Amino acid sequence: MAKDAKIFVAGHRGMVGSALMRGLQSKGYQHIITRKRSELDLLDQHAVYNFLAAEQPEYIFMAAAKVGGIHANNTYRADFIFENLTVETNVINGACRADINRLCFLGSSCIYPRDCPQPIREEYLLTGPLEQTNEPYAIAKIAGIKLCESYNRQYGTNYISVMPTNLYGPNDNYDLNNSHVLPALIRKAHEARTRGDKELVVWGTGKPKREFLYVDDLADACIFLMERGVLDGLFNVGTGEDVTICELAETVMSVVGFKGKIVFDANMPDGTPRKLLNVDRMRELGWQSKISLGDGIAKAYADFLTRPAM
């Protein structure tokens, strides 16, 4: 990408989009286009088509999405599938209509089967049933991947798909009703320490294993792929290492300074038993993550402390 290339970051105010903004700006990209939802509703097909036709960005990073944790995904199933399908369809088809040939679509590792072999390779997509608690969201993201593949094949576009593992970092969602596990733990541990609690209650058994990637590493990977001129394909982005939820909770407690005891609520769902991505494709291209889990959680906690009281 030329430093003066016109780049549209869809969803620039979210966790991933804001990380992309930081990454692009730090690398000297000078012509980044953004729109707040009040200025451009990505659910509005005609508005998206008109915007892309008028602005003609050379590159699009598709980071806009409706996201949430197990509770939100399982409760608002219709909202998750409808909104994500609509937004990605509007942007991807709108890009093709406007002759925009370079696009990076952001998905999620939940696209893979619940019980597929570990670590998860890209070719395991569509080889088995999905995790039921987030199936609607996963189906929407799979559709986005297939949109990119299909437009590349039929129209000769160069749209790539990036599948990150569990993300965390600045601008994360700390609402306990719909947050992911790591930001939820950060908030719970902070509030428990502030109150002087003796225990920290964690959902599930603590046994499932998860991989966590600091969001600025994801942004770096996406920019790396576009700069390298990668024109097609699906790419897992992660650290290649995972931890149990119990180990994660212990690390969060250490960073936050909570000295109490962990209590697991086994009545709450665990979700997928294990979800570790195989990241060989990215490593073969010359990219790997840089920020360790401990350092990343410390950065995330520092960001949490800057937020207004919830």
pLDDT digits (tens, 9 = 90+) for 224-278: 999 999 999 999 999 999 999 999 999 999 999 999 999 999 998 887 788 899 9
CA geometry: angle 83, 36, 41, nearest 5 deg: 35
pLDDT of residue 274: 86
In a domain, 308, yes or no: no
Place of tokens 């990668």: 230
Q: For position 271, what pLDDT does the model report? A: 75
More reliable by pLDDT, 71 or 80: 80
**pLDDT greater than 90 at residue 295:** yes
DSSP, collapsed to helix, strand or coil, labels residue 129 as: coil
Residue 233 lies in a domain: yes
Find the radius of gyration of the CA atoms of the chain. Answer: 19
Residue 137 catalytic? yes
Binding annotation for substrate? 188, 203, 210, 270
Domain tally, the chain: 1
Which residues are CB-neighbours of 231 under 8 A, at least 6 positions away? 152, 158, 160
In a domain, 270, yes or no: no
| Token couple for 154 | 């039929």
Find the CATH number of the domain harbouring 132. 3.40.50.720
Do 215 and 168 meet the contact criterion of CB atoms below 8 Å apart?
yes
Q: Which residue, 284, 170, 274, is CA-closest to 218?
A: 170
Indicate if the pLDDT at residue 69 is higher than 80: no
Q: State the pLDDT at residue 178.
A: 75
pLDDT in tens, 136-170: 999 999 999 999 999 999 999 999 999 999 999 99
The residue among 176, 188, 196, 170 whose CA lies nearest residue 253 is 188
Binding site as annotated, residues for NADP(+):
11-17, 106-109, 141, 164-167, 180
Q: Write out the residue range of the structural domain in which residue 92 sits.
A: 6-171+213-240+276-290
CA-closest candidate to residue 21, choices 242, 232, 29 = 29
Of residues 137, 159, 168, 301, which has the active-site annotation?
A: 137
Does the pLDDT at position 310 exceed 80? no
Quick one: which of 77, 119, 103 has its CA closest to 276? 119
Of 171, 194, 168, the closest CA to residue 251 belongs to 168
193 assigned to some structural domain:
no
Distances (CA, A) of 18 to 10, 190, 219, 294: 10, 24, 9, 21
Annotated binding site: 11-17, 106-109, 141, 164-167, 180, 188, 203, 210, 270
